[in-house]
Amino acid sequence: YQLSKALEKRISYAKNTITNELELMLSDAENNSPSDIVEASIRGAIDAGGKRTRPVFLLLCLDLAIGIAGKLAPNKADDIADDIVDDIADDIVYQANKCAIAIEFLHWASIVHDDVVDTGKLRRGRQTPNEIFDNKKSVLLGDWIVAQSLKVLPPKMKDVFANATQM
């Protein structure tokens, strides 16, 4: 099975978006880190790579929705309407990118916590944070990552995420 060039490009964009945000977190952690554990763990997450499946799916679904909406939308009467539609689309894409990052961070936090519960020693051939440090520090790291995911979320989406946890 071979992916189209456009799909490969979009997947690459999604992965790069997440990696760039992790790099920003690492830079911030190096300057203001609550601990060396955070810095080492962020570097490990970046270096380990990963498929980034969740954010990729979110951004691909956005592409699909925008494509369908574009085909269903009535013809625009003037340039002002085009500008308004472009501004709305830009805002939606911005929010979707932030949500994709938050989803990846939440997934990462769940992995850190899961390795504590399961006493996992290796993940993707690398030592887990609880193996390098200890369980207590790893739980705090996972909690810190959850907090970062909430920090990244656009204000409009915080209620959506909060409600999703109640299901």
Tokens of 2: 């071979």
Task: Answer yes or no: is pLDDT of 20 > 70.
Answer: yes
- Top mean pLDDT of 65-79, 83-97, 149-163 is at 149-163
Question: What is the predicted pLDDT for the residue at 74?
Answer: 55
Query: Could you tell me the pLDDT band of residue 34, with boundaries at 50, 70 and 90?
Result: low
Angle at which helices 135-152 and 36-48 pack, to 10 degrees?
70
Under DSSP, the state recorded for 75 is: P
* Mean pLDDT over the full length of the chain: 78
What's the pTM? 0.76
> CA 24 to CA 163: how far, in whole Å?
28
pLDDT tens digits for 90-111? 778 888 888 888 888 888 899 9
Query: What is the rounded CA–CA span in Å between residue 92 and residue 81?
Result: 17
Answer positive or negative: Cα dihedral of 50, 53, 58, 60: positive
Q: Which of 22-26, 38-42, 139-143 tops mean pLDDT?
A: 139-143
Question: What percentage of the chain exceeds 90 in pLDDT?
Answer: 8
Rg of the chain (C-alpha set): 19
Q: Is the pLDDT of residue 86 over 80?
A: no
For the cut 80, the answer to whether the pLDDT of residue 61 exceeds it is: yes
Give me the long-range contacts of 127-133 (CB less than 8 A, separation at least 24).
129/37, 129/40, 129/41, 129/44, 132/40, 133/37
Q: Is the pLDDT reported for residue 113 higher than 90?
A: yes
Kindly list the distances between the CA atom of residue 120 and the CA atoms of 18, 68, 128, 129, 144, in Å, as whole numbers in the listed order.
Answer: 25, 43, 7, 9, 19
Residues sharing a CB contact under 8 Å with residue 54, sequence separation 6 or more, in sequence order: 100, 103, 104, 107
Task: Give the model's pLDDT for residue 84.
Answer: 53
